[in-house]
């Protein structure tokens, strides 16, 4: 991760900000894939859908209302310049919740929760 990226967290949110163009987005993707989440493609002005486990995830615009309700997490915000918020959703299974709560955030880049 780039040295300009800052990461903060609380129980169901991880905030990623700062850095050069797309640094926050690349850091958020790396955190989620390292934690075992599959991510859909990015789409301007829409969240990125994330599913815990090995999934083929579509762009947000191609998910219907039911599929959006079954999504485990989303990456929201300005993918280009940040900040981004990774948000765990109610449909996430217990294993995803435990993994999300234990996301390995780089110590030097952690910010206190707000």
CA-based nearest residue to 37, from 108, 113, 95: 95
Please write the tens of the pLDDT for every residue from 95-107.
Answer: 998 888 887 665 4
Cα 106 to its chain centre, rounded Å, is 15
Residue 83: asked if its preceding bond is cis (omega within 30°), the reply is yes
Residue found by looking up tokens 């300005």 in the block: 78
Could you tell me the residue ranges of all domains in the chain? 12-102
Please state the φ and ψ torsions of residue 95, each to the nearest 5 degrees: -60, -35
CA-based nearest residue to 109, from 89, 82, 87, 88: 82
**The model's pTM:** 0.82
- The pLDDT assigned to 28 comes to 92
CA dist 43 and 76 (Å) reads: 11
- Alpha helices (H) in 1-114, listed in sequence order: 23-34, 65-70, 94-101
Please write the tens of the pLDDT for every residue from 49-106.
Answer: 999 999 999 999 999 999 999 999 999 999 999 999 999 999 999 999 888 888 766 5
- The pLDDT assigned to 55 comes to 97
CA dist 75 and 79 (Å) reads: 9
CA dist 4 and 25 (Å) reads: 12
């Amino acid at each position: 991760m780039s040295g300009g990226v800052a990461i903060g967290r609380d129980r169901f949110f991880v905030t990623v900000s700062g850095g050069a163009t797309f640094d926050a987005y690349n850091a958020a993707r790396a955190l989620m894939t390292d934690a075992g989440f599959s991510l859909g493609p990015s789409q301007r002005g829409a969240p990125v859908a994330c599913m815990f486990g090995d999934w083929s995830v579509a762009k947000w615009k191609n998910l219907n209302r039911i599929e959006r309700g079954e999504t485990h997490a989303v990456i929201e915000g300005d993918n280009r310049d940040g900040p981004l918020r990774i948000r765990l959703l109610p449909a996430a299974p217990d294993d995803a919740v435990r993994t999300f709560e234990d996301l390995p955030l780089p110590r030097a880049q952690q910010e206190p929760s707000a």
